[in-house]
Amino acid sequence: MAAPVTGWWPDTPSSLADEQIRIASLEAPNWIPEPGARIGAVFVCFERGGIGRGASGDGGWAAAVVRDGRRTVISMVRGEAGAAYEPGLLALREGRLLDAAVTSLAARPDALLVDATGRDHPRRAGLALHLGALLDLPTLGVTNRPLVASGPEPGLARFSRSPLAIGNEVVGYRLRTREAARSLCVHAGWRTTPESAVDVVVQAIVRFRTPEPLRKARTLARRARAGHWRMASATRSTKF
C-alpha cells in the first residue's frame, strides 16, 4: 500500500488539489461487506440565511451515527465552515467538521456513508474518498446528483441501477431506492468499489429513499441547527 494520508486537511485550493491527486493514486485493499457490518454515516449542515452557496466561517453542525449492537451511538460537533462552497473543493468547507464528528464516535463503524462524491471528481478524490483515506475507514458517497460523471437513469423498479462513468471508468451508480422515486447517486469511496457501495446502500434502505444511517445523521444535524439539540460540550454520544 502507498503512503497513507497525512492526517491533515489542506486549507487552500491549490494544496487541496495536490492532496486530492496524491490520495487518488493510493492503493488499498477493497473492503468486502459482511453480514452485521456496522454502517455509520456523517452529515453536516450550515446556518441558514447566507448569501449564495455559503461562505467561510458559516456556523455548522456535524452529526455522525453508527449502530452498535442494540444502541445507536451519536456524535455531534459544532464548528465553522472552512471555506465557501466550490465544486470539487468541498473538503475545504466540510472536511474538518466531518472528521471531528466521526472521530468523536464512541464506537467505530466498519464503513461510513458520506454526503459527498468519491471517484466522481475531477481529480478522482471527492470528499467521501478523502475522508475515508484520512480516517483509514471504508467509505462510500451518496448524493442527489453526480459531479462530473454521467449515465442514464435506471428503471423505475425498486433497486434498479445504472452506471455512472467518467469516460470508460465506472465510478458509481444511479440507484432507485423506491419505486418511481428520484434516483440516488452512489459513489465508490475509500476501499469500496461501485458495486460494493451499491450493495451497502441497498442493505441500508429501510422505509425511506435515503439510507437509514445517513437519514438519521441528517435529521440530527438539522435538529441541532434548529436549536433542538442541547449539547453540554462540543461533542456528545448517546442513544438515538
* Among 39, 38, 42, residue whose Cα is nearest residue 221: 42
Phi/psi of residue 11, each to 5°?
Answer: -125, 10
Q: Residue 60 domain-assigned? A: yes
Q: Residue 8 domain-assigned? A: no
Q: State the pLDDT at residue 240.
A: 31
Q: Residue 79 domain-assigned? A: yes
Q: Residue 232 domain-assigned? A: no
Q: State the pLDDT at residue 54.
A: 86
| Cα gap 110→96, rounded to integer Å | 20
- Domain count of the fold of the chain: 1
pTM equals: 0.90
108-142 pLDDT, tens per residue? 999 999 999 999 999 999 999 999 999 999 999 99
Q: Residue 165 domain-assigned? A: yes
**Does residue 134 sit in helix, strand or coil?**
helix
**Domain span including residue 160:** 36-226
Q: Residue 115 domain-assigned? A: yes
206-238 pLDDT, tens per residue? 889 999 999 999 999 999 999 865 543 334 433
| Cα gap 162→21, rounded to integer Å | 27
Q: At what angle do helices 90-103 and 13-25 cross, to 10 degrees?
A: 60
Q: Residue 76 domain-assigned? A: yes
- Dump strand ranges (E) for 69-190: 71-80, 111-114, 139-143, 161-166, 169-175, 184-188
Residues recorded for the chain: 240
pLDDT at position 89 over 90: yes
Q: State the pLDDT at residue 22.
A: 96
Among the residues of 78-232, which ranges form H helices?
90-103, 127-135, 194-204, 212-226
What's the CATH number where 75 sits? Answer: 3.30.2170.10
Q: What angle do CA 40, 78, 87 make, to 5 degrees?
A: 70
Q: Residue 3 domain-assigned? A: no
